[in-house]
Amino acid sequence: MSSYRKILYHIVFRTYRSGKTLPLEQTGELYAYIGGIIKNKNCFLYQINGMQDHIHILSDLHPNIALADYIRDIKTASSLWLKKNPSFSGFNGWSEGYAALTYAYGDLDRVGSYIIRQREHHAKVNFIDEYKKLLKEHQIVIDEKYFP
């Protein structure tokens, strides 16, 4: 008998000290690079977008990959790439933490649409408030020492 799975993660992580170091005009190149990392891990990228200080990734997770390793590998490889790319000269690294929130496959369109509309959303809500809201929606206890 075969094994079946569909594990959707909405992953969010920010730049070091929430620095606005990802110029929006250049992020398409970054997102394509991260998409390549995800594909090389036999995972599927449904959506990626963000702002100058954070990114959102909606992907499935192959069952042979541990979530912490997956995120570490994405952050490490993209950080090295960003630091070598003159278009991102202000980039100093990613923050240590992340949020990885699970969703049912039926939520794919809703969460994907939310990620697509990041610029519109952040015209009204800052990153910290958005992040805390996502954590609260998933009943995650927030440790305030990680928020400025």
Q: For 75-109, what is each residue's pLDDT tens digit?
A: 999 999 999 999 999 999 999 999 999 999 999 99
Domain spans, the chain:
8-146
The rounded radius of gyration (Å) of the Cα atoms in the chain is 15
Query: 34-48, 50-64, 132-146: which range is least confident on average?
Result: 132-146
Instruction: Give dist(CA 82, CA 9) in Å, integer.
Output: 23
Distance CA 119, CA 55 (A): 11
Q: Does the pTM of the predicted model rise above 0.85?
A: yes
Distance CA 32, CA 35 (A): 5
Distance CA 134, CA 115 (A): 12
Q: Does domain 8-146 have CATH number 1.20.930.40?
A: no
Cα dihedral sign, 36-78-27-138: positive
Cα angle 106, 78, 120 (rounded to 5 degrees) comes to 50
